[in-house]
């Protein structure tokens, strides 16, 4: 009888310990999901799309493993693989976070440079227009109109910078440069230069 009771206690103890080990890693799962949500909120899809995709895939693999284990009977569950996949997801989330910060900083620097170059081009063209000999040339009128339009576009590029839309700011600044260059070439052709 003592042997039977000892065996039952041993078996029950083993089941309790086994059940305790087979608990889903809820905290790690919540942490990974929060990290991924923070990446999306920080626009990692813009600044580090590949790294974000890798982190999303790692979390999806962990979720699939959690679902697979959740479908088993309690004594047959093991969340070891899910824990490993969640560690990989956390690592990938950290990599994506770093890459997004670097990508954003690089895009901001490029946008600042492009806007500064566009500002210099507009200012230089405006100075050249002021110093040009008085002429009733239509090409000078078109340059003046173009510079006004370029100024508006430059304001928009600055607004994009303020909004953190660095790719849009760079693109708009490049459009300013193109507009100014085209208008200056038009004046030169009209004046035979």
Which tens digit of pLDDT belongs to each residue from 40-54?
A: 999 999 999 999 999
Judgement on whether residues 142 and 168 belong to the same structural domain of the protein: yes
17 by Cβ neighbours in 10 Å (0-12 / 13-18 / 19+) ranks as exposed
Rg over CA atoms, the chain = 31
Structural domains of the chain, count: 2
Give 128-134 contacts, CB < 8 A, sequence gap 24+: 128/184
Judgement on whether residues 85 and 117 belong to the same structural domain of the protein: no
Place of tokens 């081009």: 121
Judgement on whether residues 147 and 95 belong to the same structural domain of the protein: no
The pLDDT value given to residue 102? 97
Which tens digit of pLDDT belongs to each residue from 56-105?
A: 999 999 999 999 999 999 889 999 999 999 999 999 999 999 999 999 99
Give the end of a domain, one of 38, 72, 102: 102
Please report whether residue 136 resides in a domain: yes
Please report whether residue 15 resides in a domain: no
71: helix, strand or coil: coil
Written as one string, the DSSP assignment of 44-68 is HHHH-HHHHHHHHHHHHHHHHHHHH
Judgement on whether residues 184 and 164 belong to the same structural domain of the protein: yes
Positive or negative, the CA dihedral 128, 113, 153, 183 is positive
Judgement on whether residues 117 and 184 belong to the same structural domain of the protein: yes
Please report whether residue 18 resides in a domain: no
How far is it, in rounded angstroms, from Cα 80 to Cα 11?
Answer: 22
Cα–Cα–Cα angle for 140, 143, 145, nearest 5°?
110
The predicted model gives 168-191 an average pLDDT of 88
Instruction: Judge contact between 58 and 82, C-beta under 8 A.
Output: no
Please report whether residue 4 resides in a domain: no
173 by Cβ neighbours in 10 Å (0-12 / 13-18 / 19+) ranks as buried
**Does pLDDT of 15 surpass 80?**
no
The pLDDT value given to residue 74? 87
Range of the domain at 185: 104-190
Average pLDDT along the chain: 87
Which tens digit of pLDDT belongs to each residue from 144-156?
A: 788 899 999 999 9
Task: Kindly give the interhelix angle for 80-131 and 49-70, rounded to the nearest 10 degrees.
Answer: 160
Please report whether residue 9 resides in a domain: no
Judgement on whether residues 70 and 116 belong to the same structural domain of the protein: no
Q: Where are the beta strands (DSSP E) in 47-187?
A: none
Cα pseudo-dihedral 56, 62, 67, 70, rounded to 10:
-150
Judgement on whether residues 136 and 109 belong to the same structural domain of the protein: yes
- HSE-CB at 116 with a 13 A cutoff on CA atoms is 6
The pLDDT value given to residue 132? 67
């Amino acid at each position: 009888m003592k042997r039977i009771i000892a065996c039952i206690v041993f078996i029950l103890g083993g089941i309790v310990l086994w059940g305790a080990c087979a608990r889903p890693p809820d905290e790690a799962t919540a942490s990974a999901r929060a990290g991924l949500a923070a990446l999306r909120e920080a626009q990692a899809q813009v600044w580090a799309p590949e790294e974000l995709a890798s982190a999303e895939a790692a979390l999806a693999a962990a979720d699939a493993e959690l679902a697979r284990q959740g479908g088993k009977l309690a004594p047959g569950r093991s969340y070891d693989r899910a824990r490993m996949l969640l560690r990989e997801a956390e690592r990938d989330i950290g990599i994506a976070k770093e890459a997004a910060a670097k990508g954003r900083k690089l895009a901001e620097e490029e946008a600042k440079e492009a806007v500064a170059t566009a500002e210099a081009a507009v200012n230089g063209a405006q100075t050249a227009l002021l110093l040009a000999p008085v002429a009733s040339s239509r090409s000078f009128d078109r340059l003046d109109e173009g510079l006004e339009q370029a100024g508006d576009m430059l304001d928009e590029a600055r607004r994009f910078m303020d909004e953190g839309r660095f790719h849009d700011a760079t693109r708009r600044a490049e459009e300013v440069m193109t507009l100014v260059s085209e208008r200056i070439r038009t004046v030169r052709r009209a004046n035979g230069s």
